[in-house]
Structure 1
Amino acid sequence: MPTVQITDLKDGDFLLDVREDDEWQAGHAEGALHIPISEFVARYGELTEAAPQDGRVHVICRSGGRSAQVTMYLVQQGIDAVNVDGGMQHWQVTGRPVVTDDGKPGFVL
C-alpha cells in the first residue's frame, strides 16, 4: 500500500477526503476535494476532473482504513495515489488546520 506521512505533505498537495458528509462538515483540511467513500464509484468523474494530471492524489479519511481502500482502487485504475497515514485524526494532532465550510475552526469527528 503506497503510504505517505502527514509530515511529508506540502502545501498545495492534492488531497482527497473520503469521509462521510457529517465528518466533513465537522471539519476538514482546507482545499481538499470531498467525495464520500459511499458515493465514490458514482462520483469518480469528479476526481478525474479535479486531480492534477501529473500529480499525486493523497487520500485521507478519519484514521486510514477507508482511504486505504480508495487508494488501492485508484492505483488499480493507474492513478498515482497514496494513503495518508493516520488520517484526519493524525492531521489534527500534528497541528494542521481543520476548518468548516465557512472557514471557521473545525474538529475531527
Structure 2
Amino acid sequence: MKTAHDLVIAAKSRIQEIPLADAEQAIREADVLLDVREAEEYAAGHLPGAIHASRGMLEFKLSNSPELSSRDLKIVLYCKTSGRAALAACALHDMGYLNVKSISGGFDAWAGAGKPIAKPVLPTFE
C-alpha cells in the first residue's frame, strides 16, 4: 500500500521542481502563479500575485476558467512545503498543461527566506 509520502516522491520524479533561488525569475516569466493550499492558508498570507485554487478543486477550477484553458500557459505553483504542489503539477501534466513548475520548499521556504508575502487588508472601523 502506498502512503501520501510515496505518492509525493513519485510525483516529484515526474515534474519540474525549481529551487527557491530560481522562483522569482520563474514567477516573472509565468502567466499564472497558483497557490494550491487551502483557503484559510491563502488568506493568512500568500505570494504576491498568486491566484488561489486549492488542491482539491484545482482540476475543476482550471476546467471551468476559459482564461486558464490554454495548455501552453506557463504555470508556477506552490503549497506549504511542496507535496501538494507536486501532486497538483502531475495532475496538470495529466490534463495536458505543458509548462508547469513547482517551487521547492513551497510557501514555508519562501517566507523563511524573508521574501514578500501578501496579506489581505481588512477595513478598520475607527
Scaled to the shorter chain, the TM-score interval is 0.7 to 0.9
Structure (1 or 2) with the larger CA radius of gyration: 2
Q: Which runs of 5+ in 2 are unaligned?
A: 1-14
CA distance in 2 between counterparts of 1:48 and 1:84 reads 25
Aligned-residue CA RMSD (Å): 2.3
Identify the range of structure 1 (41-50 vs 31-40) with the bigger mean alpha-carbon deviation. 41-50
Q: TM-score, normalised by structure 2?
A: 0.70
After superposition, the C-alpha distances for 1:30-64 in whole angstroms (9 at most, x for unaligned) are 10111011221221236661488754211100000
2:101 is aligned with 1:82: yes
Percent identity over the alignment is 26
Shift of residue 83, structure 1, vs aligned partner: 1.5
Alignment CA distance shift 1:47-1:4 (3 Å): farther
CA distance in 2 between counterparts of 1:66 and 1:47 reads 21
Structure 1 stretches (4+) deviating beyond 6 angstroms? none
Q: Which runs of 5+ in 1 are unaligned?
A: 104-109
Number of aligned residue pairs? 103
Alignment counterpart, residue 95 of structure 1, candidates 114, 121, 125: 114
Structure with the higher helix share, 1 or 2: 2
Q: TM-score, normalised by structure 1?
A: 0.80
